[in-house]
Amino acid sequence: MSIEYDTVQTYQNGWGIIRKNGNYFFVDKTGNLKDPPPRNDNLVEFRSGYALGTINGTNNKSNTYYYINTQLKEEFSLNASEAYLFGMRWLL
């Protein structure tokens, strides 16, 4: 058995996120892969309608965070040392 993906995240808002060969992709429930809008060093699952992508800053510069909507379009971005997902996720 061969492993096809580096990581697989849960489906939220109709999309899952996978990492394959070091690159992130959105995947729909039929298995179709879609590229995220910008290049990302990290991409985190959808919560409250937004996924969070990160491009790490270099040479003491801030990271750039991208909030991506469920149509896979960048809604807005910011430069900061940290950013968080919207909404709460309750673990029972």
In a domain, 72, yes or no: yes
In a domain, 18, yes or no: yes
pLDDT digit string, tens, across residues 27-66 = 998 989 998 877 789 999 888 899 999 999 988 889 999 9
Specify the residue for token string 């469920």. Answer: 70
For 39, the domain range is: 7-80
- Does residue 92 surpass a pLDDT of 50? no
Distance CA(38)–CA(84), nearest Å, equals 18
In a domain, 39, yes or no: yes
Total structural domains in the chain?
1
In a domain, 46, yes or no: yes
In a domain, 36, yes or no: yes
Give the per-residue pLDDT at 3.
66
User: Measuring CA to CA, how many Å separate 9 from each of 25, 62, 81, 85, 89?
Assistant: 11, 26, 24, 15, 14
In a domain, 92, yes or no: no
In a domain, 85, yes or no: no
